[in-house]
């Protein structure tokens, strides 16, 4: 083929390309929309998805046990030296971190935060950490009375700043005494705001707290500045792709091809309530039953709720009730409304039928 033939062939190809684009643009465009897709019910979709057999299950387990378990000693050494562990890579790292905690961290106090949840009560987490640390140092007699918090108030009544100050100032005779905080998805929706990250950074900087966290978001590193990374979290980065499905992390997100609405609200509320204490569930039941029996009212007054719960021995003080209400509000299970007489009323933002389903699920 000579040069003229090649030029002619290239010209013909270009001409045909533009003719095709011109004819394609002149055709009638489809009137179909994304909203026209006949999506299925979420429960049906999840049931169908649960029947799909996971692939390469044995290979994933072998990868964790043979490739990553040998690093457990190195990870523990990093924690003992005051660093934090940040694990990244494709695939859920939840099972691997739990395996690390159950083997290498068996002798330490461990607290787990599921950062993939939509809302997290960070103050309750900090209270739990403070109680664990105080119990650990008291049991081991590694702390003197002068190192204990000066206030005799329970941790529940302290502010967030007071709690962090206690964790920062408590001293022990043995440096290896620490509480390990495991955070699945520290870049999750319930933790990624700047205020929460600053609190977590202060926790990580405490001499007797260690952080083991995982990230999955592509922009997770933008959560922290240079000070957070190097002087507070003191991250040791480890690339540990597990290729495991994000089963636990994805269950709180509605599937794209499923209906949302009431069913999703019932499922989310049920999951949250089942993770709370029986007393907290009972407090929610009191409020729900009142709302169902008084549909025309704006809600139940806080004082009335406290009176009923105290009579049923569900709470002993207003502080305890406020702790439960804070948990409900953080998960958007309960909202506060202003009554016409100026009193604050508690209202569950759910339809009556959905609320009955929630009560049946947790009963």
* Whether pLDDT at 141 is above 50: no
**Contacts of range 126-130, beta carbons closer than 8 Å, 24 or more positions apart:** 126/160, 126/163, 126/164, 126/167, 126/199, 126/203, 127/155, 127/156, 127/163, 129/167, 129/179, 129/181, 129/203, 129/209, 130/155, 130/163, 130/166, 130/167
- The whole-number pLDDT of residue 119 equals 79
Between 204 and 149, whose confidence is greater? 204
* Whether pLDDT at 140 is above 80: no
Query: Average model confidence (pLDDT) for the chain?
Result: 82
* Whether pLDDT at 218 is above 50: yes
Q: Looking at the DSSP assignment, which residues form a beta bridge with residue 335?
A: 347
Average pLDDT over residues 210-215: 96
46 band by pLDDT with thresholds 50, 70 and 90: confident
39 band by pLDDT with thresholds 50, 70 and 90: low
Residue 191's nearest CA partner among 177, 201, 180 is 201
Q: Are 241 and 90 in contact (CB under 8 A)?
A: yes
Between 268 and 6, whose confidence is greater? 268
- The whole-number pLDDT of residue 172 equals 63
pLDDT, tens digit, 9 for 90 and up, residues 244-285? 998 888 877 666 555 555 555 777 788 888 878 889 899 999
- The whole-number pLDDT of residue 4 equals 65
pLDDT, tens digit, 9 for 90 and up, residues 227-240? 889 999 999 999 99
pLDDT, tens digit, 9 for 90 and up, residues 91-133? 999 999 999 999 999 989 899 999 988 778 899 899 999 988 8
- Cα(first)–Cα(last) distance of the chain, in Å? 83
- The whole-number pLDDT of residue 231 equals 92
* H or E element in which residue 114 lies: strand 109-114
- The whole-number pLDDT of residue 34 equals 44
Average pLDDT over residues 61-78: 94
Share of the chain above pLDDT 70, in %: 79
Neighbours of 195 (CB within 10 A): 8
pLDDT, tens digit, 9 for 90 and up, residues 288-331? 999 999 888 888 998 899 999 999 989 888 888 988 888 888 88
Distance CA 342, CA 338 (A): 6
Q: Structure pTM?
A: 0.62
| Six-digit token string for 342 | 């100026």
Distance CA 176, CA 207 (A): 10
């Amino acid at each position: 083929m000579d040069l003229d033939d090649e030029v002619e062939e290239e010209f013909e190809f270009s001409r045909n390309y533009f003719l095709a684009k011109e004819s394609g643009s002149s055709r009638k465009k489809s009137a179909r929309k994304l909203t026209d897709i006949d999506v299925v019910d979420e429960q049906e979709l999840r049931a169908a998805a649960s029947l799909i057999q996971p692939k390469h299950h044995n290979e994933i387990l072998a990868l964790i046990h043979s490739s990553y378990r040998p690093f457990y000693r190195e990870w523990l050494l990093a924690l003992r030296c005051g660093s934090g562990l940040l694990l990244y890579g494709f695939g859920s790292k939840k099972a691997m971190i739990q395996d690390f905690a159950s083997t290498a961290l068996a002798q330490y106090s461990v607290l787990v935060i599921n950062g993939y949840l939509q809302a997290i009560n960070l103050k309750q987490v900090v209270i739990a950490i403070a109680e664990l640390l105080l119990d650990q140092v008291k049991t081991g007699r590694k702390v003197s009375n002068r190192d204990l918090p000066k206030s005799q108030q329970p941790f529940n009544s302290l502010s967030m700043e007071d709690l962090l100050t206690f964790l920062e100032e408590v001293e022990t005779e043995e440096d290896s005494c620490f509480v390990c905080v495991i955070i699945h998805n520290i870049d999750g929706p319930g933790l990624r705001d700047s205020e929460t990250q600053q609190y977590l950074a202060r926790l990580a900087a405490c001499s007797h707290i260690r952080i083991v966290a995982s990230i999955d978001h592509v922009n997770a590193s933008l959560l922290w500045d240079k000070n957070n990374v190097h002087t507070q979290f003191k991250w040791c980065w480890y690339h540990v792709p597990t290729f495991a499905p994000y089963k636990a992390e994805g269950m709180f997100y509605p599937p794209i091809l499923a209906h949302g609405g009431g069913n999703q609200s019932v499922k989310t509320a049920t999951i949250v309530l089942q993770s709370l204490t029986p007393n907290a569930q009972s407090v929610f039941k009191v409020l729900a039953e009142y709302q169902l029996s008084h549909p025309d009212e704006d809600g139940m007054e806080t004082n009335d709720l406290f009176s009923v719960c105290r009579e049923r021995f569900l709470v002993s003080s207003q502080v305890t009730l406020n702790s439960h209400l804070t948990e409900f509000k953080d998960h958007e299970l309960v909202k506060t409304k202003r009554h016409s007489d100026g009193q604050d009323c508690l209202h569950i933002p759910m339809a009556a039928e959905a609320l009955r389903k929630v009560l049946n699920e947790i009963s």
